[in-house]
Structure 1
Amino acid sequence: MARAVGASSLLLACTLTVAQSGGSGGADASIARGVLRAQNEATLSSTVSEVIVSMPYREGDRFPKGAALVTFDCNRLAADLRAARAGEAAEARNATVQKELLSMGATGRADADIAVLKEKERGAQAQTIQARMAGCRVVAPFAGRVVETMARTHEAPPANEKLMRIVSDGPLELYMVVPSKWLSWLKVGSSFDFKVDETGATVKAVVDRISGAVDAVSQTVKIVCKVPNVPAGVLPGMSGQARLEQVAGATAAPAPAAATPASAPTPATPPKGSSGTSR
């Protein structure tokens, strides 16, 4: 339960902050709270329920893509697979014999068909066990770091039990909840500075995605920003605030007035009593 509170609770706090300060004027009118998250994160599990023999990476360790994060003792499954394949070979031999007997009229069509179907059944059983054995090694889907381990070596967790939570290295994403009225000037591609509370570092964020719907109750919308350059020490889960006055000011700045074209000279009015034509 504590794991599920993390990012959701921080975004909820951001929503409450925006709802409380969204209508205030002054300098705080363009300040929003946000949470940094990794571009990729996953909670890994396995389809097998066997004893764990290796978990070489612990909390905070970095790993490359494709590394074996969890390895199980699958000797029992391997033995089951060998037995299933032996049974498939025996049924294949029996199907061949039944086919020869059928050609000589020494057996019936039903017996020959049943022998073929039993061969296919044993083959399917072998494929099922082989597919399960793919879970004997949990490999990293991307390069990153270990956030938390929920199992230990020598344990035999149930199938599909959570084993490890990981996040990717590299660029981060910034999740923010902002007043929906900001959509009049905050667009995809808008950039701004975000100050991280924990380290005091300031990073450049660029709006990448805007939620497809506005929360009608709080009149807020979630936006996701890219943070391509991450300083050392800035980690997923850190929070901070963004000042978007420069974005709002740059967008709301009035366009320079167009130059008024010079008016044509007004023709002189002839004095009264003079004739417009010469004699």
Structure 2
Amino acid sequence: MRTRYIIYIVLALLVGFLVYNKFFSGKDDRIAPGDKGKGGKRGGPVPVSVLIVRDTTVNNAIDITGTISANEQVNLVSQASGSITNIYFDEGSRVKKGQLLVKIYNQDLKASLAQNDYQVALAKENEYRNRVLLEKEAVSKQEYDTSLASLNSLKAQSEAVKAQMARTEIRAPFSGVIGLRNVSPGGYLSPSTPIALLVNIDPAKVTFSVPEKYLSLVKPGGKIGFTVESSQKKFNATIYAVDPSIDQNSRTINVRAKAPNAEGLLTAGSFAKINFSLDQIPKTIMVPTQSVIPDLKSSKVYIAKNGLATERPVKTGIRTDTQIEILDGLQQGDSVIVSGIIQLRPKAQVNILKVIK
């Protein structure tokens, strides 16, 4: 019985100690109201960094995305049908304009052409004789005209056969790199059968869209810089064409530029990150974005003057990733507070730890 009482007493003492420790310990550490501003945890000058305002030159640029495309690109197909007798290219190789790539069986056309050539030779002799006889008035004009028409008809037939024979030879329409082939020797080729993809990507084309409000700044001859995921190099391109109409859904206008690609580092279909310089502002004031506090109707900054933080309403302009343009409200030499802004209040004391010039 006595042991149970002892246990109850110990538990009561333990609970009392915990309650005392929770509500009464640390009381002496609290700062008295009269001690504020005397080096305690609350109050005192706010440590800040300031930027000395000065005029600077800013390149007005926007970051957009685009797509790399080939200068020329075509799926090679045949205009004639027939069995493939020869293939004259290697996959992934470079070919020249006019180079023979694929040959289709055309022996029947060659025989037709040879037969027609004999008929043309005979018709020529007949036309010549009738012309001589016509000069001697030995034949009528109608008989001569008939022989001449027969000759011209046979010549036209020869040209038609030659055109058919030309369709049995598939040649490169431009110089470039040929891709993977989809046909084999001995296979049957028709106009609906794709042979291979032929691409010319030097120069490469860069297609991108620009918001409508920048339309007046986009002109042929303008320069852009861009990067692609497959290379660490930064590329440059020159604008050469601007779409004549604005997309009604996105309110953007399509623009196309050309980039030299002699090294072959750009590939058709690649994603491009573009930095487009619109214009240059020669003299303006730029401050860090975090120093500008947006308000309901305008914006404001804090400047350090005589050891105090002073509010200054400002009018802002363009923005970059880290800075914002101040059109009105600041002058050269002003000390704009760029850190510790959350703790600031009008007329609050500040302690300048760092000056950025």
Relative to the length of structure 2, the TM-score reads 0.55
In the alignment, does 2:144 pair up with 1:144? no
Picking from 199, 213, 228, the partner of 1:181 is: 213
Identity, % of aligned pairs?
A: 23
Q: Which runs of 5+ in 2 are unaligned?
A: 1-60, 285-357
Do residues 253 (structure 1) and 281 (structure 2) align? yes
CA-based RMSD of the aligned residues comes to 2.9
**Residue 135 (structure 1) aligned with residue 167 (structure 2):** yes
Alpha carbons 1:98, 1:107 under 8 Å: kept: yes
Correspondence 1:67 to 2:102: no
Which range is displaced more, 113-122 or 198-207? 198-207
Worse-matched range after superposition: 174-183 or 130-139 = 130-139
CA distance in 2: counterparts of 1:33 and 1:123, whole angstroms: 58
Cα separation, 2, equivalents of 1:94 and 1:231: 62
Letter in 2 for 1:190: G
Shift of 1:32: 1.9
Whole-angstrom CA distance in 2 between matches of 1:180 and 1:85 = 65
Aligned ranges for residues 76-87 of structure 1 at < 5 Å? 76-87=108-119
User: Could you tell me which residue of structure 1 aligns to residue 54 of structure 2?
Assistant: none
Q: 1:205 aligns with which of 225, 237, 247?
A: 237
Higher share of residues assigned helix:
1
Q: Would you say the 8 A contact 1:35–1:238 is kept in 2?
A: yes
**1:177-199 Cα distance to aligned partner (Å, 9 max, x none):** 22222223333333232121344
Q: Which structure features the higher share of strand residues?
A: 2
> Per the alignment, in what secondary structure is the counterpart of residue 144 of structure 2?
helix
C-alpha spacing 1:119/1:200, structure 2 compared with 1 (3 Å): same
- Write the distance in 2 (CA, Å) between the matches of 1:221 and 1:147: 33
Contact 1:177–1:220 (8 Å) recurs in 2 = yes
In structure 2, C-alpha distance between the alignment counterparts of 1:72 and 1:164, rounded to whole Å: 15
**1:91, distance to aligned residue in structure 2 (A):** 2.0
Counterpart of 1:43 in 2: which secondary structure?
A: strand
1:57-81 Cα shifts (integer Å, max 9, x gaps): 3442222344222222322211111
Q: Bigger radius of gyration, 1 or 2?
A: 2
SS at match of 1:85: helix
Gaps of 5+ in 1: 1-28, 257-279
Q: Distance in 2 between matches of 1:118 and 1:170?
A: 51
Offset of residue 34 of structure 1? 1.0
- Return closer, same or farther for 1:242/1:118 CA change in 2, 3 Å cut-off: same
Whether 1:124 aligns to 2:152 is no
- C-alpha change, 1:34 and 1:58, in structure 2 (3 Å) is farther
Change (3 A) 1:65 1:102: closer
Relative to structure 1, is the Cα distance of residues 113 and 161 closer, same or farther in structure 2, using a 3 angstrom cutoff?
farther
| Contact 1:178–1:223 under 8 Å retained in 2 | yes
Distance 1:72 1:40 in 2: 25
Q: CA deviation at 1:44?
A: 3.0
Tell me the TM-score normalized by structure 1.
0.68
Distance 1:168 1:139 in 2: 15
Alpha-carbon distance, 1:117 to partner = 0.8
SS of 1:96's equivalent?
A: helix
C-alpha displacement at 1:224, in angstroms? Answer: 0.9
